[in-house]
Amino acid sequence: METLSTNRSFGGVQGVYSHASAETGTGMTFSVYVPPQAADLEPGAKLPVLWYLSGLTCTHANVTEKGNFRAACAEHGIIFVAPDTSPRGDDVPDDEAYDFGKGAGFFVDAVQEPWAANFRMRSYIESELPALIAEHFPADMTRQGITGHSMGGHGALTIALRNPDRFRSVSAFAPIASPLACPWGEKALGGYLGPDRDTWRKHDAVALIEDGARLDHLLVDQGTADNFLTEQLKTGLLALACRKAGIPAAIRMQEGYDHSYYFIETFMAEHIGWHAERLK
Task: For 8-56, write each residue's pLDDT tens digit.
Answer: 999 999 999 999 999 999 999 999 999 999 999 999 999 999 999 999 9
Check residue 252 and give its pLDDT: 98
- Catalytic amino acids? 150, 226, 259
Check residue 94 and give its pLDDT: 96
Task: For 155-207, write each residue's pLDDT tens digit.
Answer: 999 999 999 999 999 999 999 999 999 999 999 999 999 999 999 999 999 99
Q: What is the DSSP string of the chain?
A: -EEEEEEEETTEEEEEEEEE-TTTSSEEEEEEEE-GGGGGPPTT--EEEEEEE--TT--HHHHHHHS--HHHHHHHT-EEEE--SS--STTS---SSTTSBTTB-TT-B--STTTTTT-BHHHIIIIIHHHHHHHHS-EEEEEEEEEEBTHHHHHHHHHHHH-TTTEEEEEEES----GGGSHHHHHHHHHHH-S-GGGGGGG-HHHHHHTT---S-EEEEEETT-TTIIIII-HHHHHHHHHHHT--EEEEEETT--SSHHHHHHHHHHHHHHHHHHH-
Radius of gyration of the chain (CA): 18
**Per-domain boundaries in the chain:** 2-279
Q: Mean pLDDT across the stretch 57-72?
A: 97
Check residue 91 and give its pLDDT: 94
Check residue 114 and give its pLDDT: 98
pTM exceeding 0.85 = yes
Check residue 247 and give its pLDDT: 97
* Residue range 2-279 in CATH 3.40.50.410: no
Check residue 179 and give its pLDDT: 98
Check residue 39 and give its pLDDT: 95
Q: Mean pLDDT across the stretch 68-97?
A: 97
Task: For 83-133, write each residue's pLDDT tens digit.
Answer: 999 999 999 999 999 999 999 999 999 999 999 999 999 999 999 999 999
Q: Mean pLDDT across the stretch 204-212?
A: 98
